Amino acid sequence: MKRTFRIKTGFMVASFMTLLFWTNLSYSVSADSTGANGNTDQQVSAKNSIEQLNEEAALLYRHALENDIEEVRGSILRISKGLEHISFEGQTTVEGIHALSETIVEVKEAAVRVKSDDASLQQASAKLRLAADSLANPAKPLWLQYYKIVKNDIDALSTAADQQLSSAIIAGRYALLEEHYETIRPAAMIRREPYEIAQLDAWLSHTKGLTEAKQTDIAQLKSMAAHGEELVNQLFGREKDESAFVPFVQGPNRRAAGLLITSIIIAALSYAGYRKYRAQQQGIFPFRR
């Protein structure tokens, strides 16, 4: 009787844990489905609005390159109106929204003074193009393609310091680096943490001071160039020692997977206890009565 009771108890525990797992799994799926259905329309609407913003920003950039000011202003008007209907919840940070808004204002201002500064309009339009794309394509945004450009700028600055070139040349190479960085900054702000942007901003400010000094501190400039390369690698997701490990399960099913693993372990332990009990009854393992 005692032996039969223990066997039944072991199987009951395993059955109970399995039932518990499937109950929780069903509940999780049901809850996720309910939440998804409730938010589907809102998510689709936000996605469509962001895609429209991206398409309009691409047109604006093309019009800027063609110097078609009337079309540029029309695109700006449509983008400004479209922003009123976009929900940025879950899309980017407050800093990212602010960066996008500032870029739109910059394009508006550049369009007003376009006769005296065509290059300013083109750069502002490029910034908006990259920012809108970063919002619409979080997985593979266009601004990441600037990695080699920015890295080459830093290498050129470092080489100028190594060769102890004139202050004018060093300042010119820094200016090119700053221009390229400013072009991608709003797009990077949309997808990266604010502290990463703040670090690069501070680095640029200090480096600019070195390049504008009457007597350039070559040793410090070389050190700053090396540090800048590390910051750029971080910004573009090119860290050398990035971990190769990822979570076993990602997303809303992680809890269900955890319950499954727990249930399997408990069932295995219960079965192992049952086998050990049988072995003891048959005299395979020594035990005390």
Domain that holds residue 103: 42-140
Residue 104 lies in a domain: yes
Taking the C-alpha atoms of residue 279 and residue 195, their distance in angstroms, rounded to an integer, is 61
Q: Which two tokens stand for residue 9?
A: 């108890």
pLDDT of residue 247: 41
Residue 197 sits in the same domain as residue 278? no
Residue 101 sits in the same domain as residue 163? no
Residue 151 sits in the same domain as residue 217? yes
Residue 145 lies in a domain: yes
Give the CATH number for residue 233.
1.20.120
Do residues 149 and 180 make contact, with C-beta atoms less than 8 angstroms apart? yes
pLDDT of residue 112: 87
Residue 190 sits in the same domain as residue 270? no
Residue 70 sits in the same domain as residue 149? no
Give the DSSP per-residue string, the chain: -HHHHHHHHHHHHHHHHHHHHHHHHHHHHHHHHHHHHHHHHHHHHHHHHHHHHHHHHHHHHHHHHTT-HHHHHHHHHHHHHHHTT---TTTS-HHHHHHHHHHHHHHHHHHHTTTT-HHHHHHHHHHHHHHHHHHH-SSS-GGGGGHHHHHHHHHHHHHHHHTT--HHHHHHHHHHHHHHHHHHHHHHHHHS-HHHHHHHHHHHHHHHHHHHSSS--HHHHHHHHHHHHHHHHHHTT--TT------SS-STTHHHHHHHHHHHHHHHHHHHHHHHHHHHHTTSS----
Residue 174 sits in the same domain as residue 196? yes
Residue 234 sits in the same domain as residue 145? yes
Residue 81 sits in the same domain as residue 113? yes
Residue 274 sits in the same domain as residue 203? no
Residue 245 lies in a domain: no
Long-range contacts of 230-239 (CB under 8 A, 24+ apart): 231/196, 231/199, 231/200, 231/203, 232/147, 232/150, 232/151, 232/154, 232/200, 234/196, 234/199, 235/188, 235/192, 235/196, 235/197, 235/200, 236/144, 236/147, 236/150, 237/144, 238/147
Q: Is the dihedral of CA 24, 30, 33, 34 positive or negative?
A: negative
Residue 15 lies in a domain: no
Q: How many domains does the chain have?
A: 3
Residue 191 sits in the same domain as residue 201? yes
pLDDT of residue 270: 55
Residue 35 lies in a domain: no
Residue 100 lies in a domain: yes
Residue 155 sits in the same domain as residue 228? yes
7: left (phi over 0), alpha (psi -120 to 50) or beta: alpha
pLDDT one digit per residue (tens) for the chain, 289 residues:
444 545 545 555 455 455 445 445 444 544 455 555 555 666 667 788 899 999 999 999 999 999 899 999 999 999 999 888 888 888 899 999 999 999 999 999 999 886 656 789 999 999 999 999 999 999 999 999 999 999 999 999 999 999 999 999 999 999 999 999 999 999 999 999 999 999 999 999 999 999 998 888 999 999 999 999 999 999 999 865 443 333 434 444 444 444 454 455 555 555 555 555 555 544 444 444 3
Do residues 207 and 224 make contact, with C-beta atoms less than 8 angstroms apart? yes
pLDDT of residue 91: 86
Residue corresponding to tokens 């990259």 = 130
Residue 198 lies in a domain: yes
